[in-house]
Amino acid sequence: MLITFEGIDGAGKSTQIKKLASHLRHKGREVLTLREPGGTEVAEKIRQILLESRSDITPVGELLLFSASRAELVAEVVRPALEQGQTVILDRFFDSTTAYQGYGRGLDIEMLRTVISISTGALSPDITFYLDILPEESLIRKFSEKSLPLAFESEELDRMERSGLEFYRKVREGYRKLIEAEPERFVRINARLKVQEIHQEIVRSLRERFDEGS
Ligand code: TYD
């Protein structure tokens, strides 16, 4: 089974992934957790270019780098694990590309579908948890004591995070459209809920949909 987590930066995905993985392991499942971009030697190098680089990257260049990282991860790690019957939990997958490079950067959504299909070999998640948070709130979580305009200049931010509030508003709107188009795959959860409440909602959704995680 392939489970993915999505949401704008700072929504709390990694905490929930850890909790879900440990819950499923307790239930006897073999669980592999991975994050995108990254996860293989080559993909980690691509991650450095994408996130740590101070240079500008064009939207198409960005798309192809994320896609190259994904192609490596899917072929080298995700598919083999799924074939062995493992549960794979991914911190971001192709919905991030549609939301960030499509709705955020403005690349053509139909063109993205083709690129995504090439990079994943048409692999799709069984379920996708979307943790919904306002961009302003996600920043406040990160920079409680700084003012928001200054926060986007911060050296602590990676290359994507320096894209600004307007960019993140478009990304969030993109996720909204994705969920609307595929309600059967997505579970939208309010990221303002308590950590334990979010976890319980995730476990409940898995049980309802797959009799899994109960
Ligand atoms: P990461 O440090 O993993 O952040 P997060 O904790 O928010 O997941 O950084 C990944 C960044 O890359 C994040 O800003 C989202 C962005 N991204 C894309 O723009 N397109 C993609 O296809 C993927 C996978 C990520």
pLDDT at 149 over 90: no
- Give the CATH number, domain containing residue 198: 3.40.50.300
Q: To test the ligand 1 pocket, which listed residue (92, 118, 138, 161) has its Cβ within 8 A of the most ligand atoms?
A: 92
Q: How far does the centroid of ligand 1 lie from the alpha carbon of residue 211, in Å? A: 30
pLDDT at 213 over 60: no
Confidence band, pLDDT 50/70/90 cuts, at residue 7: very high
**Residue 144 CB contacts under 8 Å (≥ 6 apart), including other chains:** none
- For the CA of 8, the closest atom of ligand 1 is 7
| Token duo for residue 19 | 């909790």
pLDDT tens for 151-192 read 666 777 888 888 888 999 999 999 999 999 999 999 999 999
Q: Give the chain's domain count.
A: 1
- SS3 label, residue 204: helix
Mean pLDDT value across residues 35-55 = 93
Q: How far does the centroid of ligand 1 lie from the alpha carbon of residue 25, in Å? A: 26
Q: How far does the centroid of ligand 1 lie from the alpha carbon of residue 37, in Å? A: 7
Do residues 209 and 127 touch, judged by C-beta distance below 8 A?
yes
Mean pLDDT value across residues 60-89 = 98
- Provide the pLDDT for residue 75: 98
Do residues 133 and 9 touch, judged by C-beta distance below 8 A?
no
Do residues 46 and 52 touch, judged by C-beta distance below 8 A?
no
pLDDT at 143 over 90: no
Mean pLDDT value across residues 23-27 = 97
Q: How far does the centroid of ligand 1 lie from the alpha carbon of residue 93, in Å? A: 9
- Domain span at residue 154 reads 2-210
Confidence band, pLDDT 50/70/90 cuts, at residue 127: very high
185, amino acid identity? R
What is the residue with the minimal CA distance to atom 22 of ligand 1?
97
pLDDT at 148 over 70: no
User: Burial level of 128, CB count in 10 A (0-12/13-18/19+)?
Assistant: buried
DSSP state letter for 131:
E
pLDDT tens for 84-107 read 999 999 999 999 999 999 999 999
C-alpha to C-alpha distances, 207 to 149, 173, 193, 200, nearest whole angstrom: 42, 28, 20, 11
- For the CA of 14, the closest atom of ligand 1 is 6
